[in-house]
Amino acid sequence: MTKKKKQVVSADEIRQFGPTANLISNIVVALFAFSCFLPFIFVVMTSITKETALAQYGYSLWPREFSLDAYRFLFHGKMTVKLFQALGVTVIVTVVGTFMNASLNSLYAYAISRKDFPFRRFFTLFALVTMLFSPGLIAQYLVMTSMLHLKDTIWALILPGALGPFNILIMRTFFIKSIPEAIIESARIDGASELKIFLKIVLPLAVPGVATISLFSAIGYWNDWMNALLYIQNEALVPLQFLLMKILNNLDVLTQNATMSAQIGTDLASLPSEAARMGIVVVSTLPIVLTYPFFQKYFVGGLTIGGVKE
């Protein structure tokens, strides 16, 4: 009897695709990417469409009549001052909050990723419990207002999102999978402290993970309006998203109120309500859309940690 030789197929041969398969895969991915980007294009085009054209012809990907009335409505008179003031508050909250979130989550995750840390199991379970069970809105409100006295302060917009269990678990996995234990042991032998090891050795190697959680945190802070609704009454501390939500609600009230006078009705006829709604979406999302390409490389690298084995 002749023994059949087993064919050994390498991993590189498994990963290889033919030209036809590559072409089909590229087309499918391109169509999927375009389908994800298409709604934003639709929103932008609607925001620069004349209100009368929207009422007559409906929505379309290419405006029948171009108009910037929606942006003139958003950026006129005192509204411009309020928008830029709210934008400044949002930028400060996003920058400071993202820095605090990345720092605190990275320090917490590094501690529970070390095998020689005696309480790592307890703090890991503590993070998981807070991820699965929430104390509720009332408890959070009482802590922020009665205990910490942070109502009508900018810290009320920053501290609630400064520490998150999801980002902690991402960084914990990153540290375990990507930071060799031998490097840390060598630094300890050379007399480096834990803080110096973290700042000089671990943190430079953890740039993809830090960029990933920073992007998550920045998007969360940028889109947050709930904390402003709960804790902020001072107009000078209103963030952009909350101000845009108030403008949107005012538009709804104006367009749905049928008991107004004839003069107000004339103004309502020229009010770019639908285009203004789309303009609000563009103003609120455009900065994040423009920022994302700079983090894309680190973002993808951070998400694939632990999922790809070389």
Specify the pLDDT at position 301.
58
Specify the pLDDT at position 11.
47
Backbone phi, psi, residue 134, to 5°: -105, 140
What's the CATH number of domain 71-303, 3.40.50.10490, 1.10.3720.10, 3.50.30.30, 3.30.70.580? 1.10.3720.10
Specify the pLDDT at position 103.
92
Helix (H) or strand (E) holding 237: none
SS3 of 66, please? Answer: strand
Specify the pLDDT at position 262.
43
Backbone phi, psi, residue 66, to 5°: -80, 145
Both structure tokens of 101: 């979130």
Q: Taking the CA atoms of the chain, what radius of gyration do you get in angstroms?
A: 26
Contacts of 152 (CB under 8 A, 6+ apart): 231, 232, 233, 234, 237
What sign does the dihedral 91-93-94-97 (CA atoms) show? positive
Residue type, 87: L
Both structure tokens of 92: 């400060």
Both structure tokens of 135: 């104390």
Specify the pLDDT at position 17.
64
Cα 153-158-159 angle, rounded to 5 deg: 95
Residue type, 241: Q
> Which pTM does this prediction carry?
0.77
Nearest to 268 by CA among 283, 256, 285: 256
Nearest to 271 by CA among 97, 69, 126: 69
Specify the pLDDT at position 309.
45
SS3 of 257, please? Answer: coil
Residues of the chain with CATH 1.10.3720.10: 71-303
SS3 of 122, please? Answer: helix
SS3 of 10, please? Answer: coil
Per-residue pLDDT of the chain (310 residues; tens, 9 = 90+): 444 444 544 445 545 667 788 888 889 988 988 888 888 888 888 888 887 887 777 777 788 888 888 888 778 777 788 888 888 999 999 999 999 999 999 999 999 988 888 898 999 999 888 888 888 888 888 989 889 899 999 999 999 989 888 899 889 988 888 888 888 888 888 888 888 888 888 888 888 888 888 888 998 999 898 999 999 988 889 998 888 888 877 776 666 664 444 444 445 555 667 788 788 888 888 887 777 777 666 666 555 554 444 4
**CA 147 → CA 62, 97, 139, 140, 141, distances in Å?**
54, 21, 11, 10, 9
What sign does the dihedral 139-145-146-148 (CA atoms) show? positive
Are 228 and 238 in contact by the 8 Å Cβ rule? The answer is yes
Specify the pLDDT at position 256.
61
Q: How far apart are CA 117 and CA 109, in angstroms?
A: 12
